[in-house]
A and B are shown apart, each in its own frame.
Chain A
Amino acid sequence: MNPEPNVLLKQRAEQLAKPIGKAEKIGQFLEVLVFKLAQELYGVEMQYIREVCPLREFTAIPCAPNFLFGLMNVRSRIIPLINLKVFFDLPATEGNKNSIILKNEDREFAIVSDELIGIQSIPLDQVQPSLPTFTGIREDFFDGVTPERIIILSGKKLLGSNQLIVDETV
């Protein structure tokens, strides 16, 4: 190989290796998936999301608590679908187009969303930690709110919450 392409490639590699923009502050960004529930925008940190898939077929469960939307089959595994609208006093909408699967070591479930907006990097210093109206269940699940009024849901709190567990006897 003659030296010229080598030089070129090296230059390119260096170019690509350079951090983009203000990326020196990379640790101070939140990577969130933004989605819609009724008219509100919510975001969940990407690190808690295992996958996102369109909500095609699911099975509703009789006599279950109202937040259990149903069960769906994801590659031969049964994943419970959870309807967060019930907790946030949101009107029941017809949307329910996508499921966002959250997962940690011991729990896994999907939340139903009306519309996916996309992945956004939100500078951490723009996230306002809390609002006085965030009480009760909101306090339990919310991490903060952005200037664009995206409510950041805590993946950790959702996955750790006992309120989302179904444990009922007749």
Chain B
Amino acid sequence: MNESEEQFLQKLKATFRIEAEEHLKALSNGILALENGLSPDKQPKMVEAIYREAHTLKGAARSVNLKSMHEVCQVFEDLLALWKRGQLKVEKSLYDTLYATLDFLNGAMVKDPEPEASVAILKKLKQSIIQEVKPEQTQPEASQPAQAQETQTQTTSDKLIRVSIPKLDRLLQEVEEMLMVKQAAQQEAQDLNQLMVEITAKEKELARLTQGQQIHSPQKMSDLIELHKQIHKMTKERLAKITKNSNMNAHIVEAMVYSLLEDIKKVLMQPVNILFDSFPRMVRDIAQDLGKEIKLEIHGGNIEVDRRILETLKDPIIHIIRNSIDHGIQSPDERAKQGRPRHGTITINAEEVGGSNVEISIADDGTGINVDKVKEASIKQNLLSAIEARDISYQDAIKLAFHSGVSTSTSVTHLSGRGLGLGIVSEKVEKLGGRIVVESEPNRGTKFRLILPLTLATFRGIRIQVSDQEYIVPAHNVINVMRLKQEDIHSLENCKTISIEGHSLSFIHLADMFGFHRKNGSLVALIIKGVDKTVAFGADGIFGEHEVLVKSLGSQCVRLKNVMAATIMESGKVIPILNPIDLIASTLKQHLVAQAPIETGKKESTKKVILFAEDSITTRLMIKNILETAGYEVKTAVDGAEALALLQTNKVDLLLTDIEMPNLDGFSLVQKIKATNAHKTLPVVICSACASREDREKGMLLGANAYLDKSSFTQQILLNLIGKLV
């Protein structure tokens, strides 16, 4: 080992000690809580938590070559794993062993332990396992390390951050400087009050002079004028002084607040490496698990990005990496057959783009996304028809992989293939104000490009007016802003378009989209870019670009259509920040509605309302999507009880219901509805996987108009049937 490597290892060890201290502290707190009799419902969670701590500690110890510590952690973890699965008899002696282990680890962290000590502790731990596992002998689970990995990555993002003391000192100093501003503000208020008092006194004097009588004498007149002059002079002098101070203070405050904000942001900035550091091990583990050979290359890890962005990115990136290893990169033998190196390569790269953005790309040299499989899966999910599938472009087809429920994997493994992943990935990236681009070439590989802002706190937005409301549009999604005349808008196949530099763009006025009255007068177009689509949106006015503070809408508004957050203007007014990705998705939907043959009226109020009761969220979303695309308004309920409640407050034209649901099942729901006067004639369609004849007959007897078998129905059958009934 040469000198610099030695130095590096020392540095690593120092970092490790800080980390290990935290893990050991959490472990000891957890074990203490368990020993002190935690309530039974909290116990599994706690055991799970300390198991994860031990697991992480083990990994960390290995990475800094602390062999004996690693060995002890391994056995420690095995014991906790049994405990986690409820296969460990817990008694007093166990806790003694656990504490002894913690003491050992605490010591080992600082100084390499004597070999005897580590042998002794290992023996103790193993005894605890053998002795206490007896009641229920089980075979070790093969997939356990991978599972552990999964739970770990989901929960490690606790709300802690490590901040260097100089950074904090600097902040304290800046806040202390603000005390001066506080005094200045007090002084100013005092000066103004004093002035007010003096003016009031002079006014009283004036009043005394003019009291009750007409002013005749010239002497009195001149006294009066003199007094007025005095008041004027005094007020002016004093005000000039106060104004001067006040202006100066305003400057100081501005500078202070700005530098404080900047420094606070810096506290939240961390090198991307914090995120990347855990990847090599994870990749190794997954690759080993799946029998693949992977080389991981990481570049650009020292770019600093807002910690909150890094935290949110962790899961999406891990997901993409898993996908690459699981589906992208072939097995070593397969690769060899194709004349390529046995090991696949995954390259993770971070680089700053355009000054305020960072692009993180994850590329593999695997098979690329199999577009045919994506299409097939999408057709199955009714996301597109066979004809559409034939004509769809490669890029658009890849985009389909982002829909929930679309998975190209023929088998669902514990790592991936459930089809929810990429959808969640893109949602998380969008939430951060970023976008995601996928490039894939058959047999060359796939590259995911995540383009994100460096910081979250400030955010540039364009303030626009629609009808008499104001909105903010994120500036990084706006490519261009232009004034339009009415005659610039053309109709193309029933859709409005405008042309820019020879290209046609779909145009939709935001007032139309939001159901507002358009203002007469100026018309502006904002060219907004989403993931890979660009649409021109009309607005009634534009106020320019601002730096806005993004405010969360709180836990009550988890997600709004077309609105991603809000900001508060200096006037105190709340202004919604529009979500460009949603806006574009809404346009596409409206276009589909316009094309749908069933409804010609565009107005919301003429839409037929379908109430859909179904307990599975996937089915609910899928059917809702189909129906909405066909121009219906859809209300959904998670069970019969909610459906009943919704029926009482909403006008509904048709009920579509599943049979098996919690609280109130479909049969009882239909029975209840048919028993009320208000809904006696409401058309009811039962849509269920219970397709036995008895069920069908029971449904029809209760008064359902139709019974659809979930396993065999198609979008067309459903739409035809509903078309007939409403």
Contacts and interface: CB of A to CB of B under 8 A. Distances in A.
Interface in B147-201: none
Contact of B561 (A58, A71, A86, A168): A168
Contacts of B575: 59
Interface in A106-145: 106-109, 135-137, 140
29 contacts: A57-B572, A59-B574, A60-B469, A62-B469, A62-B514, A62-B576, A63-B560, A63-B561, A64-B561, A64-B563, A71-B553, A73-B568, A73-B574, A78-B552, A78-B554, A79-B554, A80-B553, A80-B556, A87-B649, A107-B555, A109-B556, A135-B648, A140-B645, A165-B555, A165-B557, A166-B556, A166-B559, A167-B559, A169-B561
Give the dominant DSSP class at B's interface. mixed
A72 interface: yes
Interface in B539-564: 551-563
Interface string B438-476: 000000000000000000000000000000010000000
B515 interface: yes
B721 interface: no
B54 to A, nearest CB: 30
Given A71-B553, A165-B556, 4 more contacts: A60-B469, A71-B574, A73-B573, A107-B554
A72 B559 contact: no
Contacts of A169: 559, 561, 582
Given A63-B514, A78-B574, A137-B648, A170 B585 contact: yes
Contacts of A61: 560, 563, 576
Interface of B: 469, 513-516, 551-563, 566, 568, 572-576, 582, 585-586, 589, 644-645, 648-649
A38 interface: no
Contacts of B516: 62
A94 interface: no
Contacts of B562: 62-63, 170
Nearest to A58: B574
Interface residues of A, number: 36
Contacts of A87: 649
A76 interface: yes
A24 interface: no
- Top-5 shortest CB links A-B: A62-B514, A136-B645, A167-B558, A170-B585, A63-B561
Given A59-B566, A71-B576, A78-B551, A137 B649 contact: yes
B551 A62 contact: no
Interface of A: 57-64, 68, 71-73, 76-80, 82, 86-87, 89, 106-109, 135-137, 140, 164-170
Contacts of A135: 644, 648
A166 B557 contact: yes
A107 B556 contact: yes
Contacts of A109: 554, 556
Contacts of A60: 469
A89 B678 CA distance: 15
Contacts of B514: 62-63
Contacts of B561: 63-64, 168-170
Contacts of A165: 555-558
A62 B552 CA distance: 17
A103 to B, nearest CB: 10
Nearest to A87: B649
Given A76-B568, A78-B554, A57 B560 contact: no
Given A62-B516, A89-B649, A108 B556 contact: yes
Nearest to A64: B560
Nearest to B561: A63
A106 B560 CA distance: 19
A86 B558 contact: no
Nearest to A59: B574
B552 to A, nearest CB: 7
Contact of B554 (A108, A167, A168): A108
A107 B568 CA distance: 20
Contact of A170 (B551, B553, B572, B589): B589
Nearest to A169: B559
- Choose among B553, B568, B574 the residue with the greatest number of A CB atoms under 10 Å from its CB: B574
Contact of A108 (B513, B555, B574, B649): B555
Contacts of B576: 59, 61-62, 71
A95 to B, nearest CB: 20
A80 B573 contact: no
A78 B553 contact: yes
Contacts of A72: 574
A137 B644 CA distance: 9
A136 B678 CA distance: 15
A86 B645 CA distance: 13
B345 to A, nearest CB: 36
A170 B555 contact: no
Contact of A71 (B515, B566, B644, B649): B566
A14 B42 CA distance: 47
Contacts of B557: 68, 80, 165-166
Nearest to B510: A62
B563 A57 contact: no
B433 to A, nearest CB: 17
A59 B573 contact: yes
